[in-house]
Structure formats: structure tokens, C-alpha cells
Amino acid sequence: MSAPDPGGATTAAPDPAAGREAALARGAAALGVDFPLVQAGMGGVAGPALAAAVADAGALGTVALYKAAPDEAAALVRDTAARTAGTFGVNVIPEVAGRLLDGQIRAALDAADRPLVLNSYGLPPAGLARLVTDAGHRLLVQTGTPEDAARADGLGAAALALQGTEAGGHHLGTLPLRTLLARTAAALPGRVLLPAGGLHDAADLAVLLDAGASGCLCGTAFVAAAESAAHPAYKQALVTTGEDGTTLTDRFTIGWPGRAHRVLRGPVTEAPAPPPARFIAWTTVADGRRRPVPLGSAAAPTTEAEGRVDDMARYAGLGTARITAVTPAAAVVARYRGRTATAAPAAPAPAASGRT
Ligand SMILES: Cc1cc2nc3c(=O)[nH]c(=O)nc-3n(C[C@H](O)[C@H](O)[C@H](O)COP(=O)(O)O)c2cc1C
């Protein structure tokens, strides 16, 4: 399409489809993948099977290290590499890993047989960021404010994930996604921005590409994937939960204090006061040992959990209302790939549209 200009010549009106294709191409190049959809690292839930399935579908699969010891981190990287020829990522949480972080990152990089995407939830220490980039790996940092995004950019991050308050899991900021994206895109023009929170499909992504994104990062959609290690009852709850089924709370802080988190509503979130922290389940953590789970633990219910799994931290974003089935991860990726470049933007906001 073209429009006359005052001087009588014609100027090309921007072509939204071409703009989206270009944005996706930039995101894909920055991440080293075919399609710039990042599957979030999710402690206990995102293991080698999920990461490899997502990588095989051309997006960025990510294996979560959470509180894994260095030798366990190395084993997770080797296991994922053995399952896929694709690019994959490794997720760390500096504020949770604490003194483990340095060893986790070094072990993951040493075990890698290809360039990795080191996906950090929150800012990593500068020395570790340099270790990653100097060794030829890519750094992706998820933040919740434009200011932290600028700091991550200063650390050499190839891509900046921006987490809005629609997101499942712990929150890095207090801004809704569209506001966070608009402010960050204005402050950091030309960067690869990957919004996260409540996103469900290609139409959601198209809206964000038009607003300055180059891809996106999604968690909850992949919890409901067949290859995720989420407990079957948790997956089923995601399928049946409708609008208003999630809440932002501070009830699951044991093991990860200090951040509000979005979870499925349940007896624990709806109780008028925090229930006492007695043991409600058993689960296996990274070292293979069975451990009791106190009510209020930050641990999500995985296939290893036995007991009152509905009272555990079932992290979920606002996109939950539109999840209607447990499907292979490749089908989840296909849903975002869809007709991204040409899809008409969904109205009103990505997280607010109805079930599909
Ligand atoms: C079950 C679950 C566990 C999560 N655990 C982590 C984690 O270990 N590391 C991390 O970087 N982010 C974690 N997140 C947050 C995601 O990185 C991301 O911000 C969020 O999933 C995006 O919102 P969405 O779930 O609506 O797609 C988790 C999210 C969920 C749903």
C-alpha cells in the first residue's frame, strides 16, 4: 500500500506483516534458533525432555537448574544435549542459587557441546555474565523494570526478557506487560525484547511484535505440555481453570522468600490467613532424595510429588484461562508460530482475550 505525500510523490506505508517478519528474524538470530519463542526455565517442571522437545520444534527450549548442585547441572546439560541437535538454554536464578550460582554456571558451560543460551532470572553478577559471553555463549536476562533491562543490556545480554504482572511464577516487577514493553522499547531502541506474561498464541505475539518485541518468553503454556514434569493434577487444573483462576500472592515463600508470585487459586490462597506450615506432601529434589514439603513451600508439584499437590505452589499466568488441553510441546510452539506475521492483532490486550 502507498500513500500520496504533500509533494505529490508516493511514500510506502509500513507493511505490518513485513515488520513482524523482520522482528522475528532479529529475535531468532539473537537466540540462535529458528523461531524466537523462549520456553521459560521452570524449577522442577522444565527438564531435559521438555527443553529438547521445544528445541526440536525450532524454538528455544530451556532446562531449569534452580537449586541443582554443579554436578547435577552438568548432567542436565548433557542429558538435554543427548536428546536434541537444536540450540537450548540453561536457566539460573541468582537470588535462589546463592553460593551455588558460580559452580552451576561453570559446570553448565563446561558440559556444553554447543553454544548455550544462559537464561538468568534477574541480573547475574557482572563477572559471571562476562564468563558466559567470553566463552561464546549467549546471555538472556529476564527483568521486570526498564531500569533493570538497561543494566542487563550493559552486561552484554543478547536478549532482554520483560516480565509483566500477568506472568505465572515469581515476579520481578509491578508493571503490566504492555506498559513495561513500551517503556523499555522507548528507553532501549533496537534491543531484542522478549515480553513474558499471559501469552497464549500467535495473535498475542503479533500485538507485541507491533509494539517493539522480537519474540516472547512463555512458561505456563509449557507447563501444560505433555513433556513437562509438572504433576498430572497440576496440568489438569490448568486445563480446567477459567478466567479469574489465578491470583498474586505471598503464600508460597519457603525456599524462595521476598517475591510475590502468581499461582492457581486454591485452599491455601483463599484462606483468610496463612495456614500453618505443616508437611503436606513428599517430593524428590535435584539430589534424588525424598523430602517432605511444608505447606507454603515454593516448590511446584512435579511428577515426583505425592500428597496434597493441590495445596502446593501451582504457578500459573493469566493465559491459563485459554489452555484447553495438554498437548505435545511441538503443538504449543506451533500455536505461537501460527500466522504470527500476518495474524490480525487480538483485541484488547494479549492476556485479556477469551478462551480459544
Ligand atoms: C511453573 C513455573 C515455574 C517457574 N519457574 C521459574 C524458574 O525456575 N526460573 C525462571 O527464570 N522463571 C521461572 N518462572 C517464570 C517464567 O520465567 C516467566 O516469567 C513466566 O512463566 C511468564 O509468564 P507465563 O507463565 O504467563 O507465560 C516460572 C513460571 C512458572 C509458570
The domain limits of the chain are: 14-227+323-345, 232-319
**Phi, psi (deg, nearest 5) at residue 105:** -65, -45
* 256 CB within 6 A, ligand 1: no
Judge contact between 35 and 24, C-beta under 8 A: yes
Give the CA radius of gyration of the chain. 20
Return the pLDDT at 339. 62
Instruction: Report CA(15)–ligand 1 centroid distance (Å).
Output: 33
Alpha helices in the chain (DSSP H): 16-31, 48-56, 70-83, 94-97, 101-111, 126-134, 146-154, 177-187, 202-210, 220-223, 232-240, 267-270, 329-337
In the predicted structure, residue 286 carries a pLDDT above the cut 90: no
Write down the mean pLDDT value for the chain. Answer: 92
Instruction: Report CA(232)–ligand 1 centroid distance (Å).
Output: 18
Instruction: Report CA(234)–ligand 1 centroid distance (Å).
Output: 15
Looking at ligand 1, which atom is closest to the CA of residue 262?
31
Looking at ligand 1, which atom is closest to the CA of residue 121?
11
* 122 CB within 6 A, ligand 1: no
Between strands 2-4 and 10-12, the pairing is antiparallel
**297-328: string of b/e by CB count within 10 Å (b at 16+)?**
bbbbbbbbbeebbbbbbbbbbbbbbbbeebee
Neighbours of 204 (CB within 10 A): 28
Q: 165, 352, 350: which is closest to 248 by C-alpha? A: 165
Topology given in CATH for the domain delimited by 14-227+323-345: TIM Barrel (3.20.20)
Between strands 216-218 and 138-143, the pairing is unpaired
pLDDT digits (tens, 9 = 90+) for 41-82: 999 999 999 999 999 999 999 999 999 999 999 999 999 999
Looking at residues 289-315, what average pLDDT do you find? 96
* 317 CB within 6 A, ligand 1: yes
Return the pLDDT at 347. 40
Instruction: Report CA(345)–ligand 1 centroid distance (Å).
Output: 25
Judge contact between 306 and 233, C-beta under 8 A: no
Judge contact between 190 and 222, C-beta under 8 A: no
Q: 346, 335, 353, 350: which is closest to 39 by C-alpha? A: 335
Return the pLDDT at 346. 43
Instruction: Report CA(121)–ligand 1 centroid distance (Å).
Output: 9
Looking at ligand 1, which atom is closest to the CA of residue 66?
8
Looking at residues 281-290, what average pLDDT do you find? 86
* 41 CB within 6 A, ligand 1: yes
* 59 CB within 6 A, ligand 1: no
* 319 CB within 6 A, ligand 1: yes
Q: Which of 38, 42, 261, 322 to mutate to test the pocket of ligand 1 (most atoms within 8 A of CB)?
A: 42
- Chain centre distance of CA 217: 5
Instruction: Report CA(148)–ligand 1 centroid distance (Å).
Output: 18
* 94 CB within 6 A, ligand 1: no
Looking at ligand 1, which atom is closest to the CA of residue 230?
1
Judge contact between 222 and 89, C-beta under 8 A: no
Cell of 324: 484447553
Judge contact between 356 and 239, C-beta under 8 A: no
* 47 CB within 6 A, ligand 1: no
Taking the CA atoms of 187, 191, 197 and 199 in sequence, report the sign of the dihedral they define: positive
Going across the sheet that includes 261-264, the strands are 169-170, 261-264, 246-249
Return the pLDDT at 12. 66
Return the pLDDT at 288. 79
Which amino acid would we find at residue 285? V
Mind spelling out the 3-state secondary structure of 216-261?
EEECHHHHCECCCCECHHHHHHHHHCCCCCEEEECCCCECCCCCCE
Looking at residues 302-327, what average pLDDT do you find? 97
- Chain centre distance of CA 273: 30
* 124 CB within 6 A, ligand 1: no
pLDDT digits (tens, 9 = 90+) for 227-260: 999 999 999 999 999 999 999 999 999 999 999 9
Q: 38, 74, 45: which is closest to 298 by C-alpha? A: 45
Lowest-confidence region among 3-7, 133-137, 189-193, 329-333? 3-7
* 144 CB within 6 A, ligand 1: no
Return the pLDDT at 4. 42
Q: 131, 190, 136, 123: which is closest to 163 by C-alpha? A: 123
Q: Which of 54, 314, 315, 332 to mutate to test the pocket of ligand 1 (most atoms within 8 A of CB)?
A: 315
* 66 CB within 6 A, ligand 1: yes
